[in-house]
Structure 1
Amino acid sequence: MLNRHVLTLAMLAATTLATAAATAQTNTVVEGKLAGLQEGTVVYLAPIFASSTKRDSVIAGKGGFRFNIQVTDGDIYLLQIGKERNAAGSAQLFYLQPGTLQLTGPGPLLTDAVYSGSSYAADLNSLAKAAKTEPAFIEAAALGKAMNEAYQQKDTVKMKDLQQQYRRVDSIKSIYYREWVRQHPASPVSAMVLSFYLRETDMDKLQQQLNQLTPAAKKNAPGKKMQHSINASKATAIGKVAPEFTQNDTLGKPVSLKDFRGKYVLIDFWASWCVPCRKENPAVVKAFNAFKDKNFTILSVSLDRQDAKDKWLKAIHDDNLTWTHVSDLNFWDNAVSRQYDIRSIPANYLLGPDGVILAKNLRGEELEKKLEEVIK
């Protein structure tokens, strides 16, 4: 499964160099003073939820760098030093709103860097300190490293054990984050904590936590995105009628979800560049061929890009996906993807003839089994 947040690091490393100072209008400065930073190092900056068009980069001077950018709403940003994104301390997430934010540290990376220059810098430092001193955070970091090693070694038994340990530690981290938010209801950083660090799946609980914040603290991008996620999750819950949408097919002809009313339909979110999606396609094709003559069809929504329509069409042909396909070719900003709050792909929704959602995210043989259950 590919997650849009994970992809941001990879996209940063692939960014075509563009000097931040060239921005026509700027209202925000991000300045780094890292004593060991080598002159000529490329530094990347991007809002974590943004599309590829919003990345930026600068060439560092000796011991420092400076971004001059335009920020509309406060948002979660990712800063990366150099192209080696897996190096410890090379990348850091932080909250940024219009104004000035400084990072000072020994360098050459972001390890032990301290924030200053803004009203919320102390809150960022508080979270950074917790990551280095709280036992659960330290243990989680060690487990994360061990899981990566087990994955590289293809040790599935060890991975399963480590994942179980990580879930236990992660629940302790969640307790810390909830308490941190409770103590900082007026901080704009709290919305970042709730939307990115706290993995709450109960939308009613998440709404309660968001409601703890002051109106100003949840007016930023993370707060708005979280409210959108809550609303979208409720609108696309099992038992609800799937939200209507219209998008163009491969020939540019508008296709609406309502056109499929009266049939069982699988709304399938995927992309030609998504390796897990391509690996899942044979199972989807198998299910389609087994039930296409039993009032079942598929409507695929692609998260491909404007400059890659040919790759989208080729993937449809190569994978033998002989059903209806739509896309606005806007990558993660695909309008239907945003409407359904799709955060990772592949993702799917199985609808009944009345448009009611029967199941979500069916993988492999699960799809055929569910179709056998509902189609008599």
Structure 2
Amino acid sequence: MRTFPIKNTIGLILISLSLIACNSSIKISGKLEGAENKETKVYLIEPGSLKEVAASFFGKVIDSAVVNSDGYFKFHNLPKNEGPVLLEIVLKQPGRSPKYLQTGDPAKANYMPVIWQSGVPLKITAKMDEFQKSFAIEQPSEINKALLDLRDINQKAYQTYLAGKQWQIEDGSQLLEKEHAILQYQKKLIKFADSTQYLIPAMVALRWVSPEKDYERVPEFLVNQCNKWKEQQPGHPWVEQLCKVSKPSNLPVLVGDVFPNLRLPMITKDTISLKDQLGDKVTIIDLWASWCAPCRKENRNVLVPMWDEYHDQGLQIIGYGLESDESAWRAAAERDGANRWIQASDLQGDDAPFLKRIRVRTIPANFILDDKGVVIAKNVHGKDLMDLVERYIKRKQPGKL
């Protein structure tokens, strides 16, 4: 039987204990300010797919920790992945599931995404009543700095464009104003995602753009992100998931696309080829309805004045009514003055074939086309639409740039 000297055995034990001590320091820990409730708990959630990022009730709970009376907590059950992993640290809300995330007002968000890299401890601090807003990491990595920057952008954009705003949307009168504000908010997150060098923060930004996963108004954003990351990180499962969602067959007609040359049934009972009706300089495809208050307002205050001023200079408007009642459609077009330009409808209401072909579900909506039928802009309304048409027509006039 072979034996080892006692000195060597003690040395091996000391080395083992040292390694255990080092491993035990590799964790996520933090201090929560204002944690007076003994039942306060924080959870660690790992999203398993792109759609689970920043989404309530999704992802896998991999650990939990009770917050001590002095506010401290520690997580120990962490992923063993070699590469960076996105985790969500969640402050559990009373009476709610551990996987409940407040995804409305960022100032009230009870979770924060972080990147965990195996072997690199994370030390964090946050306040109970402003968890995400106050969340800080001691000596964050560059990728975690990117997430904190995104958090700041999200907080500021929400406060600037959406916080405390009240719109009269019951009658639809301020629906376009609300949509405009949401778009301005989204643009700040989109700019971050387009410029960052880090995939995972970009995907968090993508999910914050629309927690409901509704990208109908910003489909170009999905396509750009797919193109960017399939080149930089091909094969990443989240990139593959993103590119599947951003297939053209899943999205409305994009800026830069040639608008489909469809045949439309007109209010006069004729049918037209859309391509044959393009304006000499610019065409507006306007999607509206007699029951849509902001559509009616746009007819009277924007489209009629533009038609009167620019139709002879090369402006065409083609209206498509999401209608089922022909008499209501005709009356609305006549009352608004929208019978000046082409009006078409399949009179099939929400089952309208035209909207299905161009993959649009929401009105008011519009597409602005050049003289070749290429989409140069979408969903531009009010003064912005008037300015765009004016600039484009003047730019296209002979002798003008």
TM band (smaller chain): 0.3 to 0.5
Structure number with larger C-alpha Rg: 2
TM-score under structure 1 normalisation?
A: 0.47
What TM-score, normalized to structure 2?
0.44
